[in-house]
Structure 1
Amino acid sequence: METIYALAKKITKKTNMTILFSLKDSPKRWSELEKSIYKKDLHKGIKELLDLGLIQITLRFDTPTGSKAYELSPLGKKIVQLLEQIEEEYTKYHSKAPQKDPEKFINELLEKD
C-alpha cells in the first residue's frame, strides 16, 4: 500500500496534474508548458513524471533540426484516462445528490450552535 500512496501523492500534485493534462492531446515543448507553470515547479514536475515513467521525451519536427518535447508515455495515457474516469464518476455521483435549499442549509448550521 505504501507504493500506491507515494504514487498518488506525486501524481496529484498540482504541477504534475497540470503537466499530465497539458500533454493529453499532443506533445509540448518546455516553452509551451512554461506558459502555465513556474519554471522551478515545471523542472521538478517533469523530473518526477519522467522518473515515474508517465511522460517521455520525443522530438518534434517543427523546425529544420527538430525540437525536444514531452509526451505522455503509454502508462501516462492510461493514468490520465483513469483520472478522467474518477472525475466523471465523482461528478455523476454528486449530480444525483439532492440539492439543498441554501436558506434551509444555513438555518441547519445555525441550529447546531
Structure 2
Amino acid sequence: MFKEKVTITREKKTDTSNTDGGYSYPDPNVDNSDDVIISDYRCNIDENVSYATGDTGQNISGSAKMVGQLVSQETIKEGDKVNNRYKVIGKPKNYRSKTITQLVRLE
C-alpha cells in the first residue's frame, strides 16, 4: 500500500545559556543534529509542480502531500523534516486509517 520508507526528524532546541553581551553561541560540546521522531515511516509522497511563463517571467508553483501510516496527531508536528527534503507545514490530519500531511520542498 505504501511505497516509501522515510525518516522524520525535528530540530533540537538551541541552548541560549552560553551568551556574551546578548549574543548566543552554540556549545561545541553539544550534538546539534536533529532528533529522529520516526524512522522507516511508511508513506507515499505526491508532489505536483506546474510551470507557467507569462509577461512577468517564469512562475513555478507546486504542492506536496504525504499520506502515511496512521499515527497520533501529536507525533508529527509542523516544522518536522521528512528525509531532509521536505518540511511539514500545517497540522497533520488523520483520516480513516491514514495520516495526511502537507509538505513544502526544502531544496
Question: Structure 2 length normalisation: TM-score?
Answer: 0.29
Q: Which has the larger radius of gyration?
A: 1
